Amino acid sequence: MYTEEMLASMKKVEAARERNTDLEPRRMTAEEKETLLATYHPDYKQGEFAVLQVGPNKGEKVPTELAALLQGKSRVADLTVDLTHPAYDVDVLVIGGGGAGASAAIEAHNAGANVMVVTKLRMGDANTMMAEGGIQAADKPNDSPAQHFLDAYGGGHFAAKKELLYKLVTEAPEAILWLNELGVEFDKAPDGTMITTHGGGTSRKRMHAAKDYSGAEIMRTLRDEVLNLQIPVVDFTAAIELVLDDKGHAAGAVLQNMETGEILVAKAKTVIIATGGAGRLHYQGFPTSNHYGATADGLVLGYRAGAKLLYADTLQYHPTGAAYPQQIFGALVTEKVRSLGAKLINAEGEAFMHPLETRDVSAASIIRECGDRGKGVKTPEGVGVWLDTPMIERKNGAGTIEKRIPAMLRMFGKYGIDIRKEPILVYPTLHYQNGGLDIDTDGQSGVENLFVAGEAVGGIHDRNRLMGNSLLDIIVFGRNAGQHAAAKAKQVTVGRLSLDHVQAFAAACRQAGIESDVVSPKLLPNYARKAR
Ligand code: MEZ
């Protein structure tokens, strides 16, 4: 099934494998990285961004597709929504059924709040489920939260909100204990200690994992806990606009049933946006590792209600998306493959970079290798470089792949590729929204009583997140938002419900000359073929 060209290149990879396994490609200097990123990273392609004309981030640039949604036409624009008879009336409304939403709901419930989760698909249909390689926490004797902070702060280019990053790293060990207590089956040595590995940009082995389906295992556990606690979950129901009260405080959401289209209103004392990422917007035409519902809905809802975005112009392109075969184009090939010893090799059989540079640098390096350097391998879908997986067992012994990354073995095995014997082709895939809504350390946005958690938040990871800090942030900041939203709800008396902010935003768009027919939030991607 490989083309002649692929097979010829694969022979070169095999011939150089022994030499490349022992080789330690040098790390790039800071100057080399800067030039590489500026020239090849998609975040630096000026033509792919638009300047916002309206809203709290007016004058700032965001990806063109996101700008169209933020300044698009509200789904409630042509509706008459009866706000006087809400279908639901709760203390805490959680929008989103992924890891952050589940963690928030569990903690809000434990704090005594009457909490409800709405999710446009099902509980667990989320990027949490798709995360593979692990979750970071500095809980080994040779490590410390300070070390974790330095790795993440440097890897993100020194502009993360320090107080958020401090919270992330100092509460990480407790997050692991919490998950372990809830029943997450982490990889452990026979004496019960957790097995940890490196990720790109980590100075210590602090990646805790459940093989290479860490996110699925965490999500399974959190979902069970939500169900065990009998927290109400309204599924197949999207939040299509936030509701504010007459004081301009968050007070609920307009909901739409995804199957029947029925419009309902949920009133709440506090609201938590935990709607996840944006991979399904396919910025710059990239494929994505994200789940089907990752369409940046929370950013649209929050922005129209007056919440500020932070670093919304920065995205993460995971260096190793599957480039071949076509059926899994863009699917995540976990960074753990490189942590275990596989190296990135070009068409000539050369190990062209250190395998554990940070993600932005690794992605840009692969793009350069396949572009200007002309050392990529052509595929039916485009181009890729080799990730030489057979190196893993040369280095760690037979059986390592099946034991440590069984999901990768299975994913490629379905298409007749045995990753123990053959290398695989990879190319960057749209993986993570580094930016999002700005929050304080309580998880509250600039809009009173509106909290945000998980991938919809910006500022924790600056402009580049390290592997394993996302599974961590959904737990730390999900729990945090749940606790603070529940506490806050005790002090809130909700005023008259209103959608005036939506009308005001639409009026501001018209005044800025924007008459858009792009309906938002997008809710689901549109992959329908166009009629010929
Ligand atoms: O944090 C992530 O994005 C992650 C764990 C991804 C991976 O490569 O497995």
Phi/psi for 36 (5° steps) reads -60, -50
Does a structural domain hold residue 72? no
- How many domains, the chain? 2
Cα–Cα distance for residue pair 227/222, rounded to 1 Å: 9
Ligand 1 test: best mutation among 332, 411, 473, most atoms within 8 Å of CB? 332
pLDDT single digits (tens) 327-359 = 999 999 999 999 999 999 999 999 999 999 999
pLDDT single digits (tens) 229-247 = 999 999 999 999 999 999 9
124 and 238, same domain (yes or no): yes
Does a structural domain hold residue 11? yes
Cα–Cα distance for residue pair 283/278, rounded to 1 Å: 9
- Whole-number Å distance, alpha carbon 144 to ligand 1 midpoint, is 21
Helix (H) or strand (E) holding 125: none
Judge whether 154 and 148 are in contact, CB under 8 Å: no
- Whole-number Å distance, alpha carbon 217 to ligand 1 midpoint, is 14
371 and 463, same domain (yes or no): no
Does a structural domain hold residue 281? yes
- Reference 134, options 216, 22, 225, 224; nearest CA is 216
Cα–Cα distance for residue pair 101/123, rounded to 1 Å: 9
261 and 387, same domain (yes or no): no
334 and 259, same domain (yes or no): no
Closest ligand 1 atom to 133 CA: 9
Ligand 1 test: best mutation among 128, 335, 432, 470, most atoms within 8 Å of CB? 335
- Whole-number Å distance, alpha carbon 531 to ligand 1 midpoint, is 37
Closest ligand 1 atom to 466 CA: 1
261 and 334, same domain (yes or no): no
- Reference 397, options 420, 419, 413; nearest CA is 420
Question: What DSSP designation does 93 have?
Answer: E
Active-site residue flag, 410: no
Residue with the smallest CA separation from ligand 1 atom 9 is 133
Beta bridge partners of 50: 62
209 and 101, same domain (yes or no): yes
Q: 417 CB contacts (<8 Å, ≥6 apart)?
A: 325, 424
Given the structure tokens 């929370």, which residue do they identify?
298
Helix 469-489, helix 162-170: angle, nearest 10 = 100
Q: Which of 198, 318, 368, 484 is catalytic?
A: 318
Q: How far is CA 58 from CA 67, 279, 403, 512, in A?
A: 11, 23, 50, 11
Final residue before a domain boundary, out of 398, 430, 462: 430
- Whole-number Å distance, alpha carbon 331 to ligand 1 midpoint, is 12
Does a structural domain hold residue 83? no
Does a structural domain hold residue 49? no
CA 123 to chain centre: 16
Ligand 1 test: best mutation among 187, 334, 430, most atoms within 8 Å of CB? 334
108 and 225, same domain (yes or no): yes
Judge whether 145 and 174 are in contact, CB under 8 Å: no
Rounded to two decimals, the pTM is: 0.97
Judge whether 290 and 331 are in contact, CB under 8 Å: no
Q: Which of 198, 206, 280, 338 is catalytic?
A: 338
Closest ligand 1 atom to 468 CA: 1
List all residues whose CB is within 6 A of at least one atom of ligand 1: 131-134, 334-336, 467-468, 470
Closest ligand 1 atom to 470 CA: 1
- Whole-number Å distance, alpha carbon 131 to ligand 1 midpoint, is 5
Domain span at residue 226 reads 88-314+434-498
279 and 392, same domain (yes or no): no
Active-site residue flag, 338: yes
Ligand 1 test: best mutation among 127, 211, 318, most atoms within 8 Å of CB? 318
- Whole-number Å distance, alpha carbon 132 to ligand 1 midpoint, is 5
- Whole-number Å distance, alpha carbon 334 to ligand 1 midpoint, is 6
Residue with the smallest CA separation from ligand 1 atom 2 is 467
- Whole-number Å distance, alpha carbon 136 to ligand 1 midpoint, is 10
Closest ligand 1 atom to 215 CA: 5
288 and 332, same domain (yes or no): no
Task: Give the count of alpha carbons within 13 A of 168, CB side only.
Answer: 32
Closest ligand 1 atom to 432 CA: 3
Does a structural domain hold residue 78? no
Which CATH number is 376's domain given?
3.90.700.10
Does a structural domain hold residue 331? yes
Does a structural domain hold residue 505? no
Given the structure tokens 């009308």, which residue do they identify?
503
Beta pairing, strands 237-245 & 250-257: antiparallel
* pLDDT tens across the length of the chain (532 residues): 789 999 999 999 999 999 999 998 999 999 999 999 999 999 999 899 999 999 999 999 999 999 999 999 999 999 999 999 999 999 999 999 999 999 999 999 999 999 999 999 999 999 999 999 999 999 999 999 999 999 999 999 999 999 999 999 999 999 999 999 999 999 999 999 999 999 999 999 999 999 999 999 999 999 999 999 999 999 999 999 999 999 999 999 999 999 999 999 999 999 999 999 999 999 999 999 999 999 999 999 999 999 999 999 999 999 999 999 999 999 999 999 999 999 999 999 999 999 999 999 999 999 999 999 999 999 988 999 999 999 999 999 999 999 999 999 999 999 999 999 999 999 999 999 999 999 999 999 999 999 999 999 999 999 999 999 999 999 999 999 999 999 999 999 999 999 999 999 999 999 999 999 999 999 999 998 766 6
